[in-house]
Amino acid sequence: MSWTEIVIEIARDHAEALSDALMEVGALSVSVEDADEGTDAERPLFGEPGMEPKEAAWEHSRVVALTEQDADQAAIVAAAAGQIKLAAVPKFTLRKVEEQDWVRLTQSQFAPIHIGKNIWVVPSWHEAPDPDALILELDPGLAFGTGSHPTTRLCMEWLEAHPAPGKTVLDYGCGSGILAMVAKKLGAQQVAGVDIDPQAIESARDNSVRNQCEVEYFLPDTFAQSAYANQRFDAVVANILSSPLKLMAPMLSGRVAEGGTLTLSGVLARQAEEVAAAYAPFIKLGVWAEQDGWVALHGRLGSDTVPPARDA
């Protein structure tokens, strides 16, 4: 079976409304893309909690609607335009979509990822490039953390550079559990992960079983009532975003054992000073490393000096 895509380039103000209208008048699915993707004008679209973009669209957007091959695409576009009262029916192009093995196609887009010196994140359908490396079998899923994002990579590289054999580690905002599993595979004796998303907790538990990593995962409420309720950890890692990290400064700092380390990521380079300032009453943080505009901050509880950055 084949399908046909309707491709419409349109201004941000109409992209979201047009997408909804296309679904209502017969499109099977609709997506919005950056029409400037791959050019110097391409812009990322993201926001922190409470500061999300008002519209899920770009200044110059491309709306792509999937329809059945024998549908009347011109009528669908005209009906959608009329529904949102556009002054004119927008111009559009058509693309034929052939039947494919969508599972195999999706899998082909995710290759093993090499991180740091000796870490590989390998989807289940691939062979590990280096069987002697630290291997994490991890499929892309709904929980954040596959090693592809700079913030995750920074934390993984920090853990590799500062292993904690025989020690305790807390991964706060654990997502897929990738950081907790790295810590465990590097020799940590006791590792716990916390996340506010029940689906992330379920995913992290499944991933840890698959990778033979003994890690305990909790929602915040159950963590506060667990055996870890009053425990301080030798290393605390939190890969979240700057706004919640600032709010959690007293709590996260209070989870670090005397002489232990705190590592934060999910912080843009321009936000580093304000995040460090939020933690200054508890622990002195400095930038350890930067990738693609994101930084990892780190510090040691009880130290009066800002720790040095990673050597280039």
pLDDT at 12: 83
In degrees, rounded to 5, the angle at the alpha carbon of residue 169 between the alpha carbons of residues 186 and 121 is: 45
Distances (CA, A) of 80 to 14, 18, 35, 96, 155: 11, 6, 20, 21, 46
Confidence band, pLDDT 50/70/90 cuts, at residue 2? confident
pLDDT at 274: 97
Checking if the pLDDT of 150 tops 50, the result is yes
Checking if the pLDDT of 213 tops 80, the result is yes
pTM assigned to the model: 0.69
20-73 per-position pLDDT tens digit: 999 999 999 999 988 777 666 656 554 444 444 445 567 788 999 999 989 999
Per the annotation, binding residues for S-adenosyl-L-methionine are: 152, 173, 195, 239
pLDDT at 46: 47
Per the annotation, binding residues are: 152, 173, 195, 239
| Under 8 Å between Cβ of 183 and 207 | no
CATH topology assigned to domain 150-300: Rossmann fold (3.40.50)
Please count the residues of the chain: 312
Confidence band, pLDDT 50/70/90 cuts, at residue 184? very high
72-97 per-position pLDDT tens digit: 999 999 999 999 999 999 999 999 98
Q: For domain 3-99, is the CATH number 3.30.70.120?
A: yes
Mean pLDDT score, 172-196: 96
Cα separation, 96 vs 177, in Å, equals: 39
